[in-house]
């Protein structure tokens, strides 16, 4: 894990990659991937200001969570990537102590239960929500996960290695397990 002194150049490089993405769909995917990697780094260094700095530097690309509240048909891949990016934004905002995290994560959790996403989109949104919930106190994490599990849309059995579960199901179960502090090592 790089030290604190590497943060400004790495932040600039990450912002450059996001800025130069070939499309909004790809930009949302890059933003989500770099935000989750950044969150792990910020947690390791306890760099709350670093998380706020990344959020500020990338503010123009974070999706608007209120846009999903309008009823529509199934989302396209760009929309699904934006939903997944919003889970990362909510987690970063929670880590940085920003109050918007609650509103954003609530909107994203609603998307996971709205049956507007593909199986892949639902699984990735659930995984993002479960990972973000891990930043809340343990009892609140349990309550949020239980509520989300009870309401999440059915995830179809695609890309399966067995007739009774799929890669998506395994990834969702893994996200729940990795939310426990003992497993995370915190």
User: pLDDT tens-digit profile of 23-39?
Assistant: 888 888 888 888 888 88
Cα radius of gyration rounded to whole Å, the chain: 16
Whether residue 47 has pLDDT greater than 80: yes
pLDDT at 2: 55
pLDDT at 57: 86
The top-scoring range by mean pLDDT among 58-62, 73-77, 159-163 is 58-62
CA pair distance 33, 88, nearest whole angstrom: 8
pLDDT at 158: 59
Of 32, 117, 113, the residue nearest 77 (C-alpha)? 117
pLDDT at 74: 64
Q: Rounded mean pLDDT of the chain?
A: 81
Of 139, 114, 136, 137, the residue nearest 126 (C-alpha)? 114
CA pair distance 177, 181, nearest whole angstrom: 9
Span 44-60, mean pLDDT? 86
Pick the more confident residue, 156 or 18: 18
Of 49, 65, 161, 34, the residue nearest 97 (C-alpha)? 49
pLDDT at 45: 82
3-state helix, strand, coil in the chain (%, to 5): 70, 5, 25
Which tokens in the block code for residue 133? 């919930």
Q: Look-up: residue for tokens 């846009």?
A: 67
CA pair distance 145, 171, nearest whole angstrom: 15
90 CB contacts (<8 Å, ≥6 apart)?
Answer: 100, 101, 104, 105, 108, 132
Q: Look-up: residue for tokens 């009870």?
A: 150
Give tens-digit pLDDT for 114-163: 777 888 888 888 888 888 888 888 898 889 988 988 888 777 765 556 66
């Amino acid at each position: 894990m790089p030290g604190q002194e590497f943060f400004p150049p790495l932040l600039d490089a990450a912002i450059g990659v996001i800025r130069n993405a070939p499309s909004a769909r790809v930009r949302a995917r890059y933003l989500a991937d770099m935000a989750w990697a950044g969150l792990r780094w910020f947690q390791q260094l306890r760099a709350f200001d670093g998380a706020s700095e990344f959020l500020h530097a990338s503010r123009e690309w974070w999706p608007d969570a209120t846009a999903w509240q309008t009823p529509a048909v199934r989302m396209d891949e760009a929309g699904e990537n934006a939903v997944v990016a919003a889970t990362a934004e909510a987690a970063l905002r929670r880590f940085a102590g920003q109050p918007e995290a609650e509103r954003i994560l609530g909107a994203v959790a609603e998307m996971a239960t709205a049956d507007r996403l593909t199986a892949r989109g639902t699984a990735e949104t659930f995984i993002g929500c479960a990972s973000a919930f891990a930043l809340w106190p343990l009892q609140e994490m349990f309550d949020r996960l239980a509520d989300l599990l009870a309401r999440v849309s059915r995830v179809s059995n695609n890309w399966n290695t067995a007739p009774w579960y799929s890669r998506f199901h395994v990834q969702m179960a893994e996200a729940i397990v990795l939310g426990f502090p003992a497993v995370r090592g915190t």
